[in-house]
Amino acid sequence: MSKHEIPHQQWAPFLESFSLEHAGKLVSVKSRHPQQGIVLEIENKPFEGLVQETESEQERIAIIFDQGSRTSRTHFVCSPRQIRLRTTPDGTEEGVEIDADDGRTVVVQFCGISSVGIEAA
């Protein structure tokens, strides 16, 4: 697996392009917390998109999932400080990693793509 850091000024266009390309694919979301270890946040849900937002002067990344029946679920990563694109050795995009100021790393990974996983993130 390779990781490619996305410069902050390119986050919004990267996230929009990534979301358009991968909308509808099944994803899982895992977080690595400094105190809690690895936590499975979302499992096998259709991906709708990643959006950079500012709420009350705090930046955050919204990870949006299709819940069916015209409803969505959103998972937020507050105060992101780094975004990386994860690719397989052959260059296939397998997901993204988002580091937050609280020390947490969130991995959005497409289901069905074998990878080393968050343990080696």
**pLDDT value of position 47:** 94
Output phi, psi for 102, to 5 deg.
-80, 5
Query: What is the rounded distance in angstroms from the CA atom of residue 115 to the CA atom of residue 8?
Result: 26
* Domain spans, the chain: 2-120
**pLDDT value of position 116:** 45
What are 59-87's pLDDT values in tens digits? 999 999 886 656 668 889 999 999 999 99
pTM (predicted TM-score): 0.86
CATH number of 2-120: 2.70.180
What number is the average pLDDT over the span 30-35? Answer: 91
In three-state form (DSSP H/G/I as H, E/B as E, the rest C), the secondary structure along 13-77 is HHHHHHHHHHCCCEEEEEEEECCCEEEEEEEEEEEEEEEEEEECCEEEEEEEEEEECCEEEEEEE
pLDDT band at 121, cuts 50/70/90? very low
